[in-house]
Amino acid sequence: MPRCPVCSHSIDLSTVATPPFCSERCRVIDLGRWLDGAYSVPVVGRGDDDEGDGEGGISPQRSQGDGEDE
């Protein structure tokens, strides 16, 4: 049986209203942890020597969806 990721209580996913959490309280606690920065998603393929331009890899000259045909 799966367990709540916050409090580790066993939960029945077919009856709980807030899967994968056992309750609304645990769901909100988890959200708060994400917002506080306690959790993070690792970025793959970006080293310290990688100097990004902050544009997400799309240069301004070749942006998609600007409505102009070249």
Measured distance CA(14)–CA(2) in Å, rounded: 11
pTM (global) more than 0.75: no
65 has a pLDDT exceeding 70: no
Q: Six-digit token pair at 29?
A: 């606690």
Measured distance CA(26)–CA(6) in Å, rounded: 6
Give the pLDDT confidence of 27-48 residue by residue, as tens digits: 999 999 999 999 988 888 866 6
70 has a pLDDT exceeding 70: no
For residue 45, what pLDDT is reported? 84
For residue 6, what pLDDT is reported? 97
**Which residue's entry shows tokens 């969806």?**
65
Give the pLDDT confidence of 10-19 residue by residue, as tens digits: 999 999 999 9
